[in-house]
Amino acid sequence: MNEFGSKTAVVTGAASGIGLQLAKVFAEQGMNVVLADIEQNKLDDAVVEVTAIGVKAIGVLTDVGSGESVAALCRATVERFGSVQILCNNAGVYTGGLLWEQTEDDYEWLMKVNQWGIIHGMRHFVPQMIAQGDECHIVNTSSMASMCTLPFAGIYHMTKHAALALSECLFHELAMTAPQISVSVLCPELVNTSIATSSRNRPADLAEENITDMQKMSMTAITDATAGSLAPRVLAERVLQAIKDQLFYVLPPAENPWRETANTRLDDLREVRNPTFAPPAI
């Protein structure tokens, strides 16, 4: 896809971070943009920023963990713009700690957003794209956490590995049945976003309980690591280029330390050795 003008992009998690920058990059290409997020006030502000670029944009309050909510997002997109050519399943959340100390609600929350958010997007938007018959592209946001495993972030790693596997399978299935629809998986390294404070959007029925010392340590670590890290705009520009190039894996540069950590895990698999503790040198 190299022509973007007057086409429509849908971005979840679009009120801040990578999602907002994706929305802006697509707007700069002349696309209509549908911004979806669970934070109404920030969503409203984001729509103002995007429309200021000079394109048509709407905000749709969306809980990506709800199939009904994502179905409504798809309907709102088609009702407003007639079709959708780019879908970015971008919303994501984080919590950390020891796997056996984290609650069922911790697992449920991350799976609901990081896995089911992509599943719902796929299930509701792919049939629409197939029915259109035109050239389309789906971008699922995973993480470099999908290509390695590190302690005290196990639930996050689990959900991001699932996001990567689902994206790879989707790539194969669409290549065989609807080749006009391309797929990319975005695997960011540390990015300066508000993911460290994503608990602000945690549902009341999955509220945190008895926060452990290890959970506090993990959340402090991710807060410190993301502060001052890579600008979200860099990731949005990577995605745009990947769409133009029909590139599936959207990764950091080869010299990035997260690539080295991922390569160490691949070597563990190839050599059938126990997992190596190889945190990126950041």
Q: Could you tell me if 67 and 123 are in contact, meaning their C-beta atoms sit under 8 angstroms apart?
A: yes
Residue owning tokens 């509220």: 207
* Catalytic residue flag (residue 249): no
Q: Which of 94, 107, 156, 249 is catalytic?
A: 156
Which residues are annotated as catalytic? 156
